[in-house]
């Protein structure tokens, strides 16, 4: 009997120990947040900025985890997906991340062509989607999405600001009023390009400017020489171009070969914001004077003009990027897409998720959506300078950040400088195109 009692005690102790292990395991699982991070690691979008967005997002997740996780205890489990620069693949990857990997949050999305269908599909499943990059206003326009949020500015804002920039500087730099300039707009014909081009067109119409050509093209077009010929025939002073990466390289090569001449060349994000890729396809000296529109690359801002502590995070981003990805890169040459991934993931993990847990009891879709709607970050409160306040349900652009804004960059002596708006400018713009550019008017 004594032996039996001892055996029974040992069994009870083992059972208790097993229960403790199971409890600890359940507690450990409860202390993790799974985030599906969906970007394009392969295909043309990768080199056009998607990979840099992923790098920024990953560096922020790593930083949060190194500091103990969200609220110092909820570690992030990052589960990557590769959209492969194809909408159908991106949609399938989103489904895998949500329904197989069972992620709590889906974040990322570089291409607007992916974001527009994805947002509707994910929202219908009542799952939380955090868009860090894709800019098309069609993602939100009239859809009244409940679980989808984007801190980024919209494509039509990009298009409007670039036209406003030329309008502002025309008299000073071109020695003529903007209404006497000949403007041309070309764009890839997907959701991204069409949205930016519409912003160009509407702002030009509002200001009474002369648009001599507006035309879209397929990003997979093998030849853009006919488009270059049209541009030569209408003789634009300023060309507004929205594209990705291979198509930009193809257009610039054929424009150079056919002798297209311009006074200003204005790109809008994506491949136009990747200095290294532009240098590869067009030459280091020849890209001086090229412009791009994007949210501000964090390292270009004066940290003294931001809220306390924000500048230190930017310094951390630069340090990590150089240590992990490109130790030789000049700070000012780090693409804005790195900032997008880093900053917009910071807004999610530093502002939205902590509030969801402390105020709304967890990090399920309902709690996250409520927490996002409570976000109220003033201008200067993020690493890219803008504030964050999401439009409420029922608004035409419900879920879009109403405080976001892009800026105009110019490549000056091989690095990015902020040239517009004037309130954030780090340099005076160089207009017209310098003589070193093969597109410059002779």
CA nearest 193: which of 211, 163, 217?
A: 217
Count of domains observed in the chain: 2
Q: Sorting pLDDT into bands at 50, 70 and 90, what band is 30?
A: low
Is 223 among the domain residues? yes
Close Cβ partners of 391 (under 8 Å, ≥ 6 residues apart): 140, 397, 398, 399, 400, 401, 402
- Specify the DSSP element, H or E, that contains 340: helix 336-347
| Same domain (yes/no): 38, 144 | yes
For 15, 47, 211, the CA distances from 334, given in Å and listed in that order, are: 56, 14, 33
Element at 165 (helix H, strand E): helix 155-169
**218-223 average pLDDT score:** 93
The answer to whether 64 and 347 are in contact (CB under 8 A) is no
User: Strand pairing partners for 390?
Assistant: 401
Return d(Cα 134, Cα 49) in angstroms, integer.
Answer: 11
Pairing mode, strands 182-188 and 238-242: parallel
Backbone dihedral region for residue 108 (phi beyond 0: left; psi -120 to 50: alpha; all else: beta): left
* Same domain, yes or no: 166 and 201: yes
47 falls within a domain = yes
Task: Kindly report the backbone phi and psi dihedral angles of residue 401, in degrees, each rounded to the nearest multiple of 5, phi listed first.
Answer: -70, 115
* Residue 313 belongs to some domain of the structure: no
Backbone angles phi, psi at 107, to 5 degrees: -135, 160
48 and 96 share one domain:
yes
The DSSP H or E segment spanning 347 is helix 336-347
- 44 shares its domain with 105: yes
- Rounded Cα distance, 280 and 266, in Å: 19
Q: Are residues 86 and 162 in the same domain?
A: no
Alpha-carbon distance 357 to 352, whole Å?
Answer: 9
Q: What percentage of the chain exceeds 90 in pLDDT? A: 79
Task: Answer whether residue 391 is part of any domain.
Answer: no
> Looking at the structure, do residues 78 and 63 belong to the same domain, yes or no?
yes
**Which range is most confident: 185-194, 227-236, 304-313?**
227-236
Distance of CA 254 to the CA centre of its chain: 28
pLDDT given for residue 17 in this prediction: 47
Q: Are residues 185 and 287 in the same domain?
A: yes
Residue 338 sits in a domain of what CATH number? 3.40.50.2300
Question: Where are the extended beta strands (E) located within 251-373?
Answer: 264-267, 291-294
What pLDDT is attached to residue 5?
53
Whether residues 160 and 238 fall in one domain? yes
Q: Is residue 22 part of a domain?
A: no
Q: Tell me how far apart the alpha carbons of residues 393 and 377 are, in angstroms, rounded to a whole number.
A: 19
Does residue 162 lie in a domain region? yes
Cα 379 to the center of its chain, rounded Å? 18
Q: Say whether both 90 and 56 belong to one domain.
A: yes
Residue 401 lies in a domain: no
Q: What is the pLDDT of residue 4?
A: 45
pLDDT value of residue 377 = 97
Q: Locate 387 and state its tokens.
A: 């504030």
Helix axis angle for 191-207 and 112-124, nearest 10°, is 110
pTM: 0.84
**Are 238 and 126 in the same domain?**
no
Contacts for 417 with CB less than 8 Å, ≥ 6 apart: 300, 332, 409, 410, 411, 425, 426, 427
* pLDDT range class, residue 423, cuts 50, 70, 90: confident
Residue 261 has pLDDT above 60, yes or no: yes
pLDDT at 124: 97
In a domain, 161, yes or no: yes
Among 57, 29, 52, residue whose Cα is nearest residue 343: 57
Expressed as residue numbers, the domain containing 274 is 156-294+406-424
Verify that 121 and 42 share a domain, yes or no: yes
pLDDT band at 20 (very low <50, low <70, confident <90, very high): very low
In this prediction, residue 19 carries a pLDDT of: 43
Q: Does one domain contain both 146 and 102?
A: yes
**Residue 115 CB contacts under 8 Å (≥ 6 apart), including other chains:** 109, 131, 134, 136, 139, 191
């Amino acid at each position: 009997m004594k032996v039996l009692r001892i055996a029974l005690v040992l069994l009870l102790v083992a059972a208790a120990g097993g229960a403790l292990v199971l409890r600890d395991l359940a507690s450990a699982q409860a202390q993790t947040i799974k985030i599906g991070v969906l970007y394009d690691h392969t295909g043309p979008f990768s080199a056009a900025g998607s990979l840099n967005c992923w790098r920024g997002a990953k560096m922020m997740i790593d930083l949060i985890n190194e500091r103990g996780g969200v609220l110092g205890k909820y570690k992030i489990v990052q589960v990557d997906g590769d959209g492969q620069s194809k909408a159908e693949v991106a949609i399938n990857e989103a489904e895998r991340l949500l329904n197989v990997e069972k992620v709590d949050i889906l974040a990322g999305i570089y291409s607007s062509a992916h974001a527009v269908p994805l947002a509707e599909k994910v929202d219908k499943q009542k799952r939380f989607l955090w868009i860090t990059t894709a800019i098309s206003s069609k993602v939100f326009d009239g859809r009244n999405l409940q679980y989808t949020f984007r801190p980024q500015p919209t494509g039509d804002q990009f298009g409007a600001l670039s036209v406003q920039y030329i309008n502002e500087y025309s008299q000073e730099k071109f020695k003529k009023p903007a209404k006497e300039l000949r403007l041309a707009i070309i764009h890839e014909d997907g959701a991204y390009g069409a949205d930016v081009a519409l912003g160009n067109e509407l702002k030009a119409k509002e200001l009474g400017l002369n648009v001599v050509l507006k035309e879209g093209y397929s990003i997979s077009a093998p030849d853009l020489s006919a488009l270059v010929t049209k541009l030569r025939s209408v003789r634009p002073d300023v060309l507004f171009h929205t594209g990705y990466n291979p198509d930009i390289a193809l257009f610039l090569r054929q424009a150079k070969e056919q002798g297209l001449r311009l006074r200003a060349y204005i790109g809008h994000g994506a491949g136009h914001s990747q200095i290294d890729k532009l240098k590869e396809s067009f030459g280091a000296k020849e890209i001086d004077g090229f412009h791009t529109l994007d949210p501000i690359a964090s390292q270009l801002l004066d940290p003294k003009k931001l809220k306390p502590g924000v500048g230190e995070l930017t310094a951390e981003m630069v340090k990590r990027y150089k240590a992990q990805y490109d130790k030789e890169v000049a700070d000012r040459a780090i693409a804005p897409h790195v900032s997008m991934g880093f900053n917009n993931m910071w807004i999610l993990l530093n502002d939205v998720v902590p509030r969801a847990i402390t105020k709304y009891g967890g990090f399920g879709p309902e709690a996250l959506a409520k927490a996002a709607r409570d976000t109220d970050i003033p201008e200067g409160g993020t690493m890219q300078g803008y504030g964050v306040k999401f439009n409420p349900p029922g608004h035409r652009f419900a879920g879009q950040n109403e405080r976001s804004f892009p800026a105009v960059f110019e490549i000056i002596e091989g690095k990015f400088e902020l040239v517009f708006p004037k309130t954030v400018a780090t340099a005076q713009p160089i207009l017209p195109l310098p003589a070193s550019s093969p597109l410059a008017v002779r």
